[in-house]
């Protein structure tokens, strides 16, 4: 079992990572989560994360957002590849794309949406169902 610190932008990313690890049976134990303050927190603290990854394992989830492609983001963040103790995962475009890709009633190609989070929010906003009325 690998023990790691999880670094995420928000609670939705945190929940998605835990769900993927559990459903795929990946032997990783997350012993703490940090971040939860948006991409800016990750961007600002990347040097600290690199230094810390020399002493423990880190899984960092950073949405692609408006960057052109993951290699561009990696070059900006690390000047190339992240260090060995730091797994850097880039959902294309945003983790909301992962959620939409996992549900049959969403967009067929969520990774092509410019702003998956806004798309998901607008679907919820325009839904006729209201809080507390969700049915299974």
According to DSSP, residue 13 is labeled H
pLDDT, mean of residues 24-31: 96
| Between 17 and 115, the higher pLDDT residue | 17
- Dihedrals phi, psi of 6, to nearest 5 degrees: -100, 130
User: What does the pLDDT read at residue 130?
Assistant: 66
User: What does the pLDDT read at residue 107?
Assistant: 65
Check whether 54 has a pLDDT greater than 80. Answer: yes
User: What does the pLDDT read at residue 35?
Assistant: 98
Domain residues of the chain, as ranges?
2-91
- Dihedrals phi, psi of 65, to nearest 5 degrees: 50, -125
Q: And the tokens for 110?
A: 């969520």
| Between 125 and 130, the higher pLDDT residue | 125
Q: Are 2 and 27 in contact (CB under 8 A)?
A: yes
């Amino acid at each position: 079992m690998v023990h790691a610190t999880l670094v995420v932008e928000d609670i939705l990313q945190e929940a998605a990572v835990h769900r993927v690890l559990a459903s795929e049976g990946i032997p990783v134990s997350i012993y703490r989560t940090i971040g939860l303050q948006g991409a800016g927190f990750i961007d600002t603290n990347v040097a600290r994360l690199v230094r810390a990854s020399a002493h423990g394992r880190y899984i960092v989830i950073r949405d692609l957002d408006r960057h052109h492609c993951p290699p561009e983001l990696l070059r900006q963040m690390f000047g190339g590849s992240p260090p060995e103790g730091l797994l850097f995962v880039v959902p294309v475009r945003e983790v909301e794309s992962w959620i939409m890709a996992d549900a049959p009633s969403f967009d067929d190609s969520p990774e092509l949406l410019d702003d998956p989070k806004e798309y998901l929010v607008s679907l919820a906003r325009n839904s006729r169902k209201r809080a507390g009325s969700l049915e299974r």
